[in-house]
């Protein structure tokens, strides 16, 4: 009899637990606009042979399928005036984030695939440019911090980025930060 009363009490209490969690609205989509830098050799200020540093911007959108899983797609464009190079990244894939939204923090991790395109002055300044489009992948994560209703700050996003841009087939670091709008 005591076990039956315990089961009934738990079943009656269960909807109140669900209601307290329902008050924490889960954003269905997020839009990011921010700054990004891509660098190699661990030194963003070094322009020695085999080393590079590109700065630029990034935009992305995430659509949530559940509280913890969404699909993110984005485009970033970085440039380097010293080498007259331009690099674009179009990436898409799943993004995972635990249920920490009630703390005003959203840590996340993602695996993205897509393509990179590069435009370089292949003839040492004579006005002729080469364009390359290759596969690319990024694995990483970051942290968003709540600033106000619907406004979040992407404090950091760090990715391991691999793009088959010839001749170096580079694997680099990509660091981003920006403003996220969630609804």
pLDDT of residue 20: 37
Reported as a pLDDT band with limits 50, 70 and 90, residue 41 is low
pLDDT of residue 23: 44
Residue 25 gets the label, from left (phi > 0), alpha (psi -120 to 50) or beta, of: beta
48: containing domain = 27-182
Q: Would you say residue 7 lies in a domain?
A: no
Reported as a pLDDT band with limits 50, 70 and 90, residue 42 is very low
The model carries a pTM of: 0.74
Write out pLDDT tens, residues 110-163. Answer: 999 999 887 766 555 555 566 778 899 999 999 999 999 889 999 999 999 988
CA distance 102 to 44: 36
Reported as a pLDDT band with limits 50, 70 and 90, residue 8 is very low
Write out pLDDT tens, residues 76-115. Answer: 999 887 766 788 899 999 999 886 666 788 999 999 999 9
Q: Would you say residue 139 lies in a domain?
A: yes
Reported as a pLDDT band with limits 50, 70 and 90, residue 4 is very low
Q: Would you say residue 12 lies in a domain?
A: no
The answer for residues whose C-beta is within 8 angstroms of residue 178's C-beta and 6 or more apart is 32, 33, 34, 35, 58, 153, 154
CA distance 144 to 32: 10
Q: Would you say residue 132 lies in a domain?
A: yes
CA distance 51 to 48: 5
Lowest-pLDDT range, 50-64, 142-156, 166-180?
Answer: 166-180
Reported as a pLDDT band with limits 50, 70 and 90, residue 19 is very low
Considering its fold, how many domains does the chain have in total? 1
CA distance 158 to 174: 6
Query: Is a pLDDT exceeding 60 seen at residue 6?
Result: no
Q: Would you say residue 16 lies in a domain?
A: no
Q: Would you say residue 44 lies in a domain?
A: yes
Q: Would you say residue 13 lies in a domain?
A: no
* CATH number reported for the structural domain that contains residue 173 in this entry: 2.40.160.20
Q: Would you say residue 14 lies in a domain?
A: no
pLDDT of residue 96: 95
């Amino acid at each position: 009899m005591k076990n039956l009363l315990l089961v009934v009490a738990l079943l009656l209490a269960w909807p109140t637990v669900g209601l307290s969690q329902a008050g924490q609205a889960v954003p269905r989509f997020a839009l990011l606009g921010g700054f990004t830098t891509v660098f190699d050799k661990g030194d963003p200020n070094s322009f020695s042979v085999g080393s590079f540093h590109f700065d630029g911007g990034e935009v992305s959108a995430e659509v949530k399928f559940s509280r913890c899983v969404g699909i993110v797609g984005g485009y970033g464009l970085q440039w380097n005036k010293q080498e007259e190079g331009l690099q674009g990244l179009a990436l898409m894939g799943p993004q995972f984030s635990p249920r920490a939204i009630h703390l005003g923090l959203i840590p996340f991790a993602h695996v993205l695939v897509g393509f990179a395109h590069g435009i370089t002055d292949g003839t040492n300044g004579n006005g002729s440019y080469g364009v390359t489009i290759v596969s690319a992948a990024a694995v990483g994560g970051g942290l968003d911090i709540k600033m106000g209703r619907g406004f979040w700050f992407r404090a950091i996003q760090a990715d391991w980025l691999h793009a088959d841009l010839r001749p170096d087939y580079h694997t680099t670091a990509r660091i981003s930060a920006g403003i996220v709008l969630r609804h």
